[in-house]
Each structure stands twice: as structure tokens, then as C-alpha cells.
Chain A
Amino acid sequence: MKRKMIKKIMGFGTAMLVAGMLAGCSTAKTASKGNAAGKTIKIGVNMELSGAAAGYGNSQKQGIQMAVDQINKNGGINVDGKKKKVSLIIRDNKTSTSTSASVAAQLVNKDKVNAIVGPATTNAGTAQIPNITKAAVPSVSPSATDPNYTLQKSGKVQPYVFRACYQNNFQGSTAAKFAYTNLKAKRVAVLADNSSDYGTGLAKAFKKAYKGKIAASQYFQEGDKDFNAILTSFKNKKIDAIYAPGYYSEIGLIVKQARQAGINVPIIGSDGMADPKLAQIAGNENATNVYYTTPFSTRVANQNGTAKKFMKAFKEQYNEEAPTFSALAYDSVYMIKKAIENEKSADSAKIAEGLTKIKNFDGVTGKITIDSKHNANKPIVVETLSNGKVSAATEIK
């Protein structure tokens, strides 16, 4: 009996030792040094085309497609004197982190893209970082909003990660300022989307920056349709406004049900609401006294030549009003074009450098400057909805 036990333990021990040796010994690693440009400039798209974020992903795909079509119609991107056309390689990451990592690996290694646009969500975005960093290919995300997305753990910036949108702290604190200063709201109830970092990040930033009292704080999930219970609970809390960061499909319902419940205080939101479908879902009479922070205001757009052209072209090509996501994706592509033109090279490592130097870039979503943390600094606007239509736009400095 005893000898059997000893033999078993020894066998196990040897196995562990060998395992340890194999695991510890230096083994081959996969890596590369950046992708050089060929006859065409390859832009990869790592996008959520199916799964939970498919709606936003497909809107962004439309924006990207339109941008590339326009660029190619004009002959392509000017790389140090020669004009090269852009070829798009679009892959679906299924709103899944592991697929996003796999897609990124495919794009940088198999397809040898020079830059990547996407993904739309922060989680899919962070999943691709190791692979694109190893391959030295930069990515511009149109809508990843977590403040730490572009940063490493040490606080240093990720060399190959950029974004074209606001990060949550900026947008959330702007809303807080607006609520307190412009709307004079002293007590606010917060109703945030708990299924992604967008809603919770904005709510956190709002609560931190808001100078008044947070009367109540509740959450909902993406896909929820019934907010009556939560709204009824807000009614006897004497609130001056509701801050509801989330996306238009749920916020539209919240606005509708709030007004029907007799809650007529201002409802403030974020750029996830900036979509004509919001008024459709809420009902025009209900979409009154509604505010949201946004980079891309149709009102401001009418003064902004670039945006006006974009909106017109989008309407012609796709027969619908351009949502914010498409505008951000469109800008992402043009930012890459600017980076290439500035660096006079379409090598992926050079594009990364070029992106860091973008200053006052005339984008659809505003004048964009990439700061030291690779975030897009641009003016922010608060739009007002009355009867379903944008009635005012206040620029917040």
C-alpha cells in the first residue's frame, strides 16, 4: 500500500516538474514590427456587426463605408506625393471580447492592415489591444468611452490606441455642470444603463461632478421596456431633473413613460440619445424639456460646413438621418487619412505617430485635437428637444 502511494506521488511530482519546466522555458512568441503599406492602403474594421451592439456597429459600418467611398472617388489618400486608394477589410467581432481579439489578430497578421477603425464598445476594444500593440498597428475607436481605455495600468498612454469620441468623465461632468448651472437643478435622480460601461461610467462621472444632491440612483438593463416602477419611485423624491445616460432605445421609452406618469422635469442624457429615433420612440409631445450632451449637433451642423456636407451625403446614400455613431466612424477614417498625409507614409507605425499629432482637425463631430492621452478633445454641445425637434443648442466651454 505504502509503496503504491509513494509511486503515485513520485509520478505526480515528476509530471508537475516537467510541466513546470515546459511552461517556464522560453518558448517562441508571435510578434511583428508593424505593417508597411503596399499598393493600396488597407484599413481594417473590427466591428460589432452581430450580437448585442449590432445596431451601433452597423451604423458605424455605414459611416466608414461612406468615408472610404468618398476618399476613393477623389483618387485616394496622398502618401508623399503619390495617391493611393483605400481598401476596406471588414470583420465582425460579434460583440464578444475573445472574437475581437481573434479578429484583431487576423487583421494585423493575415490581412496586414495599416490601421484599424473600431470596435464600438470598450470591452471589445481592450481585448484587441495586446494583438495590435504586438503588431504595431494603431486603432481609432469611434465610440469606446471608458476613461482608462487609452491608458496602460501604469497611467502611461497606450501607444496604438486612439478614440474619436468623448470619454465618460468629460461628458458626465459636462452634464453635471449643465444641470446645476444652466437648469438650476438642485436635486437630481440618476437612472443609468447598467449593462455596459457607458451608462455606469457617465453616471459615476456625473455624481462626482454634480454639486447638488443626488436624490435617487437606480439602474436598468439594455432591452428593458418597463420603467414605470422606477419612475413612480422618483415621483415622491422631489426632483428637479433626471439624468439618464444610456442609448436611445431605452431612453426613448423612459422619456415616454416619465411624461405619461406626470413627471415633467427636465430629462438630461448623453450622446447615446442623439438620434432622431429617440423622438419617434418617445412620441413628439413627450420629447420636450429633454437635453443631451453631444459632439454632433444638427443645429451646429447647419453652421458647420463639413457636417452639413456629411449629413446630406449620408441621407442620399442611405436614405435616413445620420446617427451620431456614423458621424464618429466617418471622422475616425478621416483622422487616419490626416495622419497618413501628415507623416507622408502609410506604414502602420507611422500612422500611429501621425495620429498623436492631430490638431484642430475639421471633423464632422467638431474640431478635434488628440491630446496626450490619445483622447479626442472637441467642443461639447447640449441640445434641447422640444416636441421632438431640436430647438436649441448650447455650447459648453
Chain B
Amino acid sequence: MNVLKANFKYNLCWFIIMITGFYLMNTLIMVGMIDSFIENMLVTIWINIILAVGLNLIIGFAGQFSLGHAGFMAIGAYTTAIITQKTVSIGGFYVSFIVGMIIAVVAALIVGIPTLRLRGDYLAIATMGAAEIIRIIINNMKITNGPAGMFNIPQFATWPIVYVIMCITTIITVNFINSRGGRVIKSVREDEIAAEAMGINTTKWKLAAFVLGAVTAAIAGSLHASYLQTIAPNDFGIMESISILIIVVLGGVGSVTGTFLAAVVLGILDTVLQDFGTLRMVIYAAALVLLMVFKPSGLLGTWEFSIRRLFNHIKRRSV
């Protein structure tokens, strides 16, 4: 009981921070300080955060190197596109969400069960291959309109919805990480053989992290489709998976705060460097290599911003 009450204080703080952010955004739009360009940039950053937090769960906390995130995003995106075109209503939108998540779970199980027993590099290539297979299948199906992609998707994902869902998915993921399940996953990451010797069903837990990550990717995909109103198979290729990977690595594999920070930094950098053309990619690539060689733990390493620590710090100070 006491534990819940104690936690309640911190959860409430986070809640207040999120609501403040919401009203701040709303006011700035009403005042006219945020135009559709900045709104666009912010929503893209939020969708990237959802993707990166999910990937961080798989790579950072479970230690499974998956390069196939874009495949699950594609599943969510296309499900939403197809369903909302048939049932044009907000109900249809939410239904497509759920259907997208279910299909993503099934796909994650199909991909995960055979491949998660592979190690490191092999797992990376296998997941990349699986995502490519998903993309090629989508590219050749009639119902997805093939390479032409789908457009004129009705827009139901307005910025409030994206913001709220970003907050919810982050809360769920962080709670999972801090729960018993999260600790199990971290133990699997640290030393899988030792964890197995302790009686933990490593396959089950690796699969759980993988599926959760895939579900968040599908959610992000649904939002992407409904916000941008245009999707094409080429949006979900290897490059997309690697872009999300870069966000996770830059922020620090294993730090959710770092992911937030990196997503924002990269989102802004992308816009600032827009006129550099191909040189921008060269700069990114060089920066990535330098980062890996000199600071492989990323910007924040495994440091997390925690309100609990803040409170404790203040308490200790005032004593």
C-alpha cells in the first residue's frame, strides 16, 4: 500500500508534466507561434520517439539486435490505410489500430520464434531480411496498391492524438522496464546463459520484449499513415530501420530519456541541414562512426531522468 502511494507521487508528477506539455502546445498553436511546418516537425519527432522507445526496449533492454523495426511499422501503417479507406470514421481508425497491433503481434511471433535464438550479428541480418520480406510482400499485393502506395488516407491522427499516444506508449514501456519483467529482460541481456541457469525461460521473455516493441512500431505506423495521409512500400525499407536505430544509439542504448533527447536533436538537425542534400547523409554517417568509436554509449549512456531521484536530492538537500 505504501509502495503504491509512494509511486503515486512520482506518477502524478509525470502526469502533470505531460498535461502541461499538451496545453503549452495548444496555446502556442492558437497564438500562431507554431505553424504547420513546426507542427509537422514535432509530430514527426513524436512518432519517431514511439518507434525509438520500442526499439530501445528490444535492443537496449533485452539486448536483441533487431534491424527489422520498419517491417512492423509497415504493418500498422497499411492496416490503418486499408481499414480507414473502407470505414471512414474515427471508430474505424481505432479499430484499425487494434487490428494493426494484432497483425503485428502475429508477425512478431512468426519472425521472433525462429530467429530469436540467433545471436548478435546473425539476428540483425535475419530481422533485416524479415522486414524486407514483409515490405516486398506489401509491394506485390493488390490490396495495398503495390509500389504506388496509398494516398488520400483520411486524417484522424491529429497532433493531440499523436501526443497522447506517445505519452501512453512511453508510460507503458517504462513501467514494463521497471517491473519484474523488465528486470528479467535485463538479466537476459547481461548474461543469457546465467539467466537460463537460474530457471528463467529466456526465449519467452525475449519474445515478450520483441512483441512489445513490434506493437509500438505498429502503433507508430498507424499514426504515420493517418497523419501524413500518404504511404508507400519504399517508406519502410532498410534505411528507415537504420534511421530509428541511429536515434536509439545516439541517445544511449538503454536510456529512454536519451531516446527522447536524440529524437528531438535529430529531428531538428534534419530540418536545419535540409539544404545540404547528399552531404547531409555523409555528415550523419561520419558522425555515426565517430560516435561509435569515441562514445559508443551514446549521448546519455544508460542515465535516466528520474523524478524520484530529483525528489530524493531535494529531500537530502533540505535536511
Contact = CB atoms under 8 A, between A and B. Distances in A.
Q: Do chains A and B touch in the complex (CB under 8 A)?
A: yes
Interface of A: 4, 7, 11, 15, 18-19, 22-23, 25, 27-32, 49-50, 52, 54, 91-92, 96-99, 101-103, 105-106, 108-110, 122-123, 126-127, 129-131, 134-135, 146, 148-149, 151-153, 194-197, 199-201
B280 A50 contact: yes
Nearest to A93: B274
A49 B276 CA distance: 10
A123 B234 contact: yes
Contacts of A201: 148
A123 B164 contact: no
Given A28-B29, A30-B29, A97-B230, A126 B152 contact: yes
Given A22-B160, A130-B229, A109 B37 contact: yes
A293 to B, nearest CB: 19
Interface stretch (B39-47, B99-107, B176-184, B254-262): B39-47
Contacts of B26: 27-28
5 closest Cβ pairs, A-B complex: A197-B148, A126-B151, A28-B29, A105-B37, A30-B36
B244 to A, nearest CB: 13
B311 interface: no
A363 B195 CA distance: 72
Nearest to A196: B147
6 contacts: A11-B11, A27-B160, A29-B29, A105-B35, A110-B37, A126-B149
A266 B231 CA distance: 36
B30 interface: yes
A91 B37 CA distance: 14
Contacts of A92: 274-275, 277
B89 interface: no
Given A27-B26, A98-B44, A201-B148, A153 B4 contact: no
A127 B277 contact: no
Given A50-B280, A99-B274, 4 more contacts: A32-B36, A50-B277, A101-B228, A131-B36
A384 to B, nearest CB: 29
B228 A127 contact: yes
Interface string B227-255: 01111101100000000000000000000
B80 interface: no
Nearest to A127: B230
B148 A122 contact: yes
A153 B37 contact: no
Interface in B195-250: 224, 228-232, 234-235
A24 B160 CA distance: 8
Contact of B147 (A19, A50, A200): A200
A195 B147 CA distance: 6
A104 to B, nearest CB: 9
Contacts of B224: 98
Nearest to B30: A28
Nearest to B157: A23
Contact of A52 (B160, B167, B168, B234): B234
Contacts of B140: 194
Interface in B256-288: 270-271, 274-275, 277-278, 280-281
B34 interface: yes
Contacts of B40: 101-102, 105, 131
B297 interface: no
B85 interface: yes
B29 A98 contact: no
B267 to A, nearest CB: 10
B118 to A, nearest CB: 27
B148 A146 contact: yes
B158 interface: yes
Contacts of A19: 164, 167-168
